[in-house]
Structure 1
Amino acid sequence: MSTSWLKNSVFYEIYPQSFCDSNSDGIGDLRGIVTKLDYIKNLGCNAIWINPIYDSPFMDAGYDVRDYKKIAPRYGTMEDFEHLLEQAHKRDMKILLDLVPGHTSDTHEWFQSAKTGFPTPHDDRYIFTKCVWDAPAEYRMMCGVCERDGNYLVNYFSSQPALNYGFYEVTHPEWQFSSDSPEAWATVDALKDIMRFWLNKGIDGFRVDMADSLVKNDDDKVATAKIWRNIREMMDSDYPDAVLVSEWSNPLRAIVNAGFHADFYLDHQGNGYNELFRKRATPDSDNLSVFADGAHGDITAFLADYVPAYLCSKDHGYISFITNNHDMPRAPFYMSEWMVQLSHAFIMTMPGVPFVYYGDEIGMRYRTDLISKEGGFSRTGSRTPMQWNHEKNLGFSDADEEMLYLPLDYSEGYPTVEDQIGVGGSIYENLKSLIALRKANPELMNESDFEIVYAREKEYPFVYKRGSFTAFINPSDEDKTIEFDADGMKEYYFLGGYEIGDDSVTIRSRSFLLLRNEG
């Protein structure tokens, strides 16, 4: 892989409107991010993913793009972005932008042109039926809302018309274009033009939203992968140091077939990430995952999903574990503060490229009492402003409180950066030390091998190797002892407690231990 900088990268995800407000309007912005670059670097993160900053009506918090080549005025100017990029690179930090390739806003000039009913160059940029009375039930359609005699597909919200990358299986030839048609590939060319615009400015790549959503009627994602392979060829040729990270959560399809450099391991019902952190029998029942308080989970269920994906993709790219993201309830909604720390120890000692969501380094909480903001709905509670200190608005903004993008969390014991920096045992300090540990030891970095040492169905601990390191993790409420010859091994890091015997290791309840073979 020519993008060798990924080998030791740890990313920090910034939700820009909620991170740091530099101009006192209540909304985070690009200049605010610049003021916090040293903070992010000191945490140990050397790369940043920024959620969409393009011009948008914000019906879906910026994932409804009105102009891909313009910065949303609330975040600043193009000059502000270029300054951010310059300052990040000066600190040897990488910047990924969020690419939204599958749909635009219905206020985008392409769609404003295509919906008129008059012949335009953008008539086939979106997916319209031939008449307003044609609305097949198998598709999500908007009907009778524009002048053009036809209904159009949306990817989800009504304000997000799907771009036309064609259909792999054409079932309605009167209005569906093949994925190999010139019309479909004209959309690919338009996407590549957008990507070139930002890559020419010097960004280090893209996180790709809904990367598997391009071609319709493409169940096995064959045609969608073909598009991304074509784009990867462009990048390898013209931007060899730039990377693509997919929101797909299918490493075989995303990394091996489609050519992404990394793929997020997302919380999908029943998959390995869900088994680790967020498994519930019903939405309101207890946490049944491996890292649940009370430890009801099954590590073998995680491994059954993860190991095949890891083995098929490890020579081609990276699986990215995330502490959280902007679409999921924050971890403290599911587990205690200490269990959050154990989950961080696990994530930072596994293969792949890890991502830290802003605020997870201090244990920011999920708010269940908020009205939806900009299409956030249940996601809104994970998008509240960053809690820096105990000054006005917890250091996020000098604006009046009613102007803030979202309300701050003032509930009892609310966390701040100020209260955790330099405090031993805090979520911040332990995560910082884990990131430093990872980056100081190539065997714990993103490419080193992973080997299962001990894993039993519905039992603890879980023991795994990374090179000369052996990690033991026991989220349960009971001490666990296994036969293990630790001769020649030395304690390298731990959370909680442990005891090493002549031919055994006891890992205390809710503990993590990392040994290194010094032989």
Structure 2
Amino acid sequence: MTEQWFKDSVVYQVYPMSFQDSNGDGIGDLPGITSRLEYIKKLGADVIWLNPIYVSPNKDNGYDIADYEAINPTYGTMADFDNLLEKAHELGLKIVMDLVVNHTSDQHKWFQESRKSKDNPYSDYYIWRDPVDGHEPNNWVAAFGGSVWEYDEGRGQYYLHMYAPSQPDLNWTNPKLREAVYSMQRFWLDKSVDGFRMDVINEISKPDGLPNMTGEVTAGTTQDFIADGPHLGEYLSEMNEKVLSKYDIMTVGEMPGVTTEDAIEYTGLKSNELNMVFEFEHVGLTNNPDTRLGRWNDVPVKLTDLKHALNRWQIALDGKGWNSLYWNNHDQPRAVSRFGNDSDEFRVRSAKALGTTLHFLQGTPYVFEGEELGMTNGHFTRVDQYEDVESVNVYKEMVEDKKIVDGPTMLKYLANMSRDNARTPMQWDASENAGFTTATPWYAVNPNHKEINVQANLEDPDSVFYHYQKLIKIRHESETIRRGTFEALDEDDDQVYAYRRHGEDGTYLIMTNFTDQTVTRDYQQADASELVISNYQDDQGTTLRPYESKVYRFAK
């Protein structure tokens, strides 16, 4: 095993509810994932990141955990998990668990005990405060809307929840709580799990004193205000010292609002905290001009903004830290719909172009299930088609309660940005339920599964799947692509994203046309030693056709 193996890896993200049902209940499960391991191996990925599979009432699709050390019966048993882990390891695949320790479910034993009284052993596992003049302790707004405070009649106090009221925040100032978390981490790592993806980990340290905010108070501004609190580095260092450093694992921290400086502090080569972070800069480029609506919009991302964001992270972390590379995940709309063109004419071409653009950057690439097929947004048109708590709540708040926007406009915003777009079942074949289940699926299958599915991709040698497979193979074989330096090119070009990578096996030139027009760019590609990969069958030199993406290598 190489030192810092995460730098040489490609991660495939599995959303268990939507990946593969094995028992005919309409919900994906662990045996279903096990049955598809060969597919993930065929793609070429090295690591599987599993979204939460713990016992949960599923108010937030598993991100409200009721028991950290037990498997949700909907997904199977601990024996099923052990079998998945064993089979994955036999194939050379690693398993990374999703760790949610900013909050739990209100059904967790810790919270059930904590709410009983102010002096029981779990009383300070959560953040409780007395009313202030008969009202909430401060003016913060929860990520899913409404106050962050929920009154509990039994304790006669408010508890803090940065997300839904059913997701109370843990009190990380309590050493006993921290040790309970570390004990739980050891439980999984001693099973030979290969690491953790840590949900909103930069929110575990709240501002001292929990002060009122000044200025505009919204879900977004509150999240920015509470992120990267004064003790975050202290908690992460302690976690690393007591647990993470004892195992050969990969760790990635989801950090909304994180800056490059923060990332270097928490993941830098001289730090002892995490391997990498998930930043949100490039996926948060089109916030609505009406700040009350936050990220809800239907505006296309400007290429120049996208390049500036991605390049800034490439340059800042080069030689100092490590990037996570992603277009989409379970919390983001589908990549080809958001950043590319999901029309029948250009979907395949632009899906390949997005893959090429991302996989030649410096960092660890993440592929979200179905991305390698060019799966698209759901294109829903009615509010009753949405399942996600965030989407349902924001429609009610913005349209019905506050009347900030009309229904048809909000539906356009949801169609563009809702998390549900990523959560439609995996499209395995053209059958009625896309091969995902023999029952009624827990969530509607995208109707375009008849054209976009695994079977069709595997039968077509020019498919998006085989393009991703080739991208991963090139990365595995090239030290320059995995670890070489990054050079930005023409950041103000609003049509083409171009950059170079420099390293042991020469220089690579990456060029992607992000438009449906034919353009011309000359980066001396005529002098290249070889055309490494392209999403067109022929090379027309300086000409870049619609959504054309190609990579050249120049020998040293």
TM-score, normalised to structure 1, is 0.85
- Of 237, 246, 271 in structure 2, the residue corresponding to residue 238 of structure 1 is 246
Q: Which residue of 1 aligns with 2:499?
A: 463
SS of 2:509's equivalent in the other structure is strand
Distance between the aligned counterparts of 1:330 and 1:219, measured in 2? 26
The code of the aligned residue for 2:518 comes to E
Q: Which residue of 1 aligns with 2:182?
A: 192
Distance between the aligned counterparts of 1:430 and 1:2, measured in 2? 26
SS of 2:522's equivalent in the other structure is strand
Residues 509 and 515 of structure 1: CA distance in aligned 2, closer, same or farther (over 3 Å):
same
Are 1:115 and 1:146, in contact at CA under 8 Å, matched by a contact in 2? no
How far residue 488 of structure 1 moved from its aligned partner, in angstroms, is: 5.3
Distance between the aligned counterparts of 1:54 and 1:285, measured in 2? 34
Q: Which residue of 2 aligns with 1:475?
A: 514
How far residue 510 of structure 1 moved from its aligned partner, in angstroms, is: 2.4
- Of 410, 424, 448 in structure 2, the residue corresponding to residue 384 of structure 1 is 424
Q: 1:351 aligned to 2:358? A: no
Distance between the aligned counterparts of 1:389 and 1:358, measured in 2? 14
Distance between the aligned counterparts of 1:103 and 1:280, measured in 2? 28
SS of 2:203's equivalent in the other structure is coil
The code of the aligned residue for 1:194 comes to M
Q: 1:398 aligned to 2:441? A: no
Distance between the aligned counterparts of 2:150 and 2:299, measured in 1? 42
Q: 1:257 aligned to 2:266? A: yes
Distance between the aligned counterparts of 1:228 and 1:284, measured in 2? 34
The code of the aligned residue for 1:494 comes to S
Distance between the aligned counterparts of 1:188 and 1:26, measured in 2? 37
How far residue 43 of structure 1 moved from its aligned partner, in angstroms, is: 0.7
Q: Which residue of 2 aligns with 1:86?
A: 86
Residues 253 and 423 of structure 1: CA distance in aligned 2, closer, same or farther (over 3 Å):
same
- Of 468, 476, 488 in structure 2, the residue corresponding to residue 452 of structure 1 is 488
Are 1:56 and 1:62, in contact at CA under 8 Å, matched by a contact in 2? yes
Distance between the aligned counterparts of 1:255 and 1:479, measured in 2? 37
Distance between the aligned counterparts of 2:438 and 2:449, measured in 1? 22
- Of 312, 322, 331 in structure 2, the residue corresponding to residue 318 of structure 1 is 322
How far residue 410 of structure 1 moved from its aligned partner, in angstroms, is: 2.0
How far residue 362 of structure 1 moved from its aligned partner, in angstroms, is: 1.1
Distance between the aligned counterparts of 1:374 and 1:513, measured in 2? 37
Distance between the aligned counterparts of 2:375 and 2:13, measured in 1? 14
Q: Which residue of 1 aligns with 2:413?
A: none
- Of 499, 503, 517 in structure 1, the residue corresponding to residue 540 of structure 2 is 499
How far residue 482 of structure 1 moved from its aligned partner, in angstroms, is: 2.3
Q: Which residue of 2 aligns with 1:517?
A: 554
How far residue 348 of structure 1 moved from its aligned partner, in angstroms, is: 1.0
Q: Which residue of 2 aligns with 1:7?
A: 7
Distance between the aligned counterparts of 2:289 and 2:388, measured in 1? 30
Are 1:141 and 1:151, in contact at CA under 8 Å, matched by a contact in 2? no
Distance between the aligned counterparts of 1:486 and 1:279, measured in 2? 40
How far residue 255 of structure 1 moved from its aligned partner, in angstroms, is: 4.5
Residue deviations 1:72-107 (CA, integer Å, cap 9, x gap):
000111111111111111111111110001011011
Structure 1 stretch 332-341 or stretch 189-198: which is displaced more? 332-341
Q: Which residue of 2 aligns with 1:330?
A: 334
SS of 1:197's equivalent in the other structure is helix
- Of 183, 206, 209 in structure 2, the residue corresponding to residue 216 of structure 1 is 206
How far residue 233 of structure 1 moved from its aligned partner, in angstroms, is: 2.2
Distance between the aligned counterparts of 1:289 and 1:413, measured in 2? 31
Q: Which residue of 2 aligns with 1:305?
A: 309
Q: Which residue of 1 aligns with 2:412?
A: none
Are 1:255 and 1:263, in contact at CA under 8 Å, matched by a contact in 2? no
- Of 339, 353, 357 in structure 2, the residue corresponding to residue 342 of structure 1 is 353
How far residue 512 of structure 1 moved from its aligned partner, in angstroms, is: 1.6
SS of 1:69's equivalent in the other structure is strand
Residues 332 and 487 of structure 1: CA distance in aligned 2, closer, same or farther (over 3 Å):
closer
Distance between the aligned counterparts of 2:114 and 2:9, measured in 1? 42
Residues 209 and 10 of structure 1: CA distance in aligned 2, closer, same or farther (over 3 Å):
same
Aligned sequence identity (%): 31
**Structure 2 unaligned regions, length at least 5:** 141-146, 208-225, 268-272, 291-295, 392-417
SS of 1:144's equivalent in the other structure is strand
Structure 1 stretch 45-54 or stretch 184-193: which is displaced more? 184-193
Q: Which residue of 1 aligns with 2:164?
A: 157
How far residue 2 of structure 1 moved from its aligned partner, in angstroms, is: 7.6
Matched residue count: 478
SS of 1:107's equivalent in the other structure is coil
TM-score, normalised to structure 2, is 0.80
Q: 1:207 aligned to 2:197? A: yes
Q: Which residue of 1 aligns with 2:218?
A: none
Residues 456 and 143 of structure 1: CA distance in aligned 2, closer, same or farther (over 3 Å):
closer
Structure 1 stretch 142-151 or stretch 251-260: which is displaced more? 251-260
Distance between the aligned counterparts of 1:118 and 1:212, measured in 2? 27
Q: Which residue of 2 aligns with 1:247?
A: 254
Q: Which residue of 1 aligns with 2:115?
A: 115
Residue deviations 1:400-431 (CA, integer Å, cap 9, x gap):
x2xx2111122485411111113133211211
Residue deviations 1:421-465 (CA, integer Å, cap 9, x gap):
1313321121111111211222112x2211224444435352323
Distance between the aligned counterparts of 2:289 and 2:526, measured in 1? 39
Q: Which residue of 1 aligns with 2:460?
A: 423
Q: Which residue of 2 aligns with 1:294?
A: none
Distance between the aligned counterparts of 2:468 and 2:206, measured in 1? 41
SS of 2:185's equivalent in the other structure is helix
SS of 1:438's equivalent in the other structure is helix
How far residue 481 of structure 1 moved from its aligned partner, in angstroms, is: 2.6
Are 1:246 and 1:262, in contact at CA under 8 Å, matched by a contact in 2? yes
**Structure 1 unaligned regions, length at least 5:** 167-183, 291-297
- Of 202, 219, 235 in structure 2, the residue corresponding to residue 227 of structure 1 is 235
Are 2:151 and 2:159, in contact at CA under 8 Å, matched by a contact in 1? no
How far residue 374 of structure 1 moved from its aligned partner, in angstroms, is: 5.7
Residue deviations 1:299-318 (CA, integer Å, cap 9, x gap):
xx445434443344333542
How far residue 130 of structure 1 moved from its aligned partner, in angstroms, is: 3.3
Are 1:422 and 1:429, in contact at CA under 8 Å, matched by a contact in 2? no
Cα RMSD (Å) = 2.5
The code of the aligned residue for 1:223 comes to H
Distance between the aligned counterparts of 1:321 and 1:164, measured in 2? 31
Q: Which residue of 2 aligns with 1:289?
A: 302
Structure 1 stretch 422-431 or stretch 86-95: which is displaced more? 422-431
Distance between the aligned counterparts of 2:299 and 2:550, measured in 1? 27
SS of 2:39's equivalent in the other structure is helix
Are 1:280 and 1:289, in contact at CA under 8 Å, matched by a contact in 2? no
Q: 1:137 aligned to 2:138? A: yes
Are 2:150 and 2:161, in contact at CA under 8 Å, matched by a contact in 1? no
The code of the aligned residue for 2:160 comes to L
Distance between the aligned counterparts of 2:283 and 2:203, measured in 1? 21
Are 2:314 and 2:361, in contact at CA under 8 Å, matched by a contact in 1? no
Are 1:116 and 1:146, in contact at CA under 8 Å, matched by a contact in 2? no
Distance between the aligned counterparts of 1:117 and 1:394, measured in 2? 50
The code of the aligned residue for 1:309 comes to W
The code of the aligned residue for 2:368 comes to Y
SS of 1:310's equivalent in the other structure is helix
Distance between the aligned counterparts of 1:398 and 1:190, measured in 2? 40
- Of 443, 466, 491 in structure 1, the residue corresponding to residue 480 of structure 2 is 443
Residue deviations 1:252-307 (CA, integer Å, cap 9, x gap):
324523622011243xxxx34455xx7887855551432xxxxxxx1xx4454344
SS of 1:138's equivalent in the other structure is coil
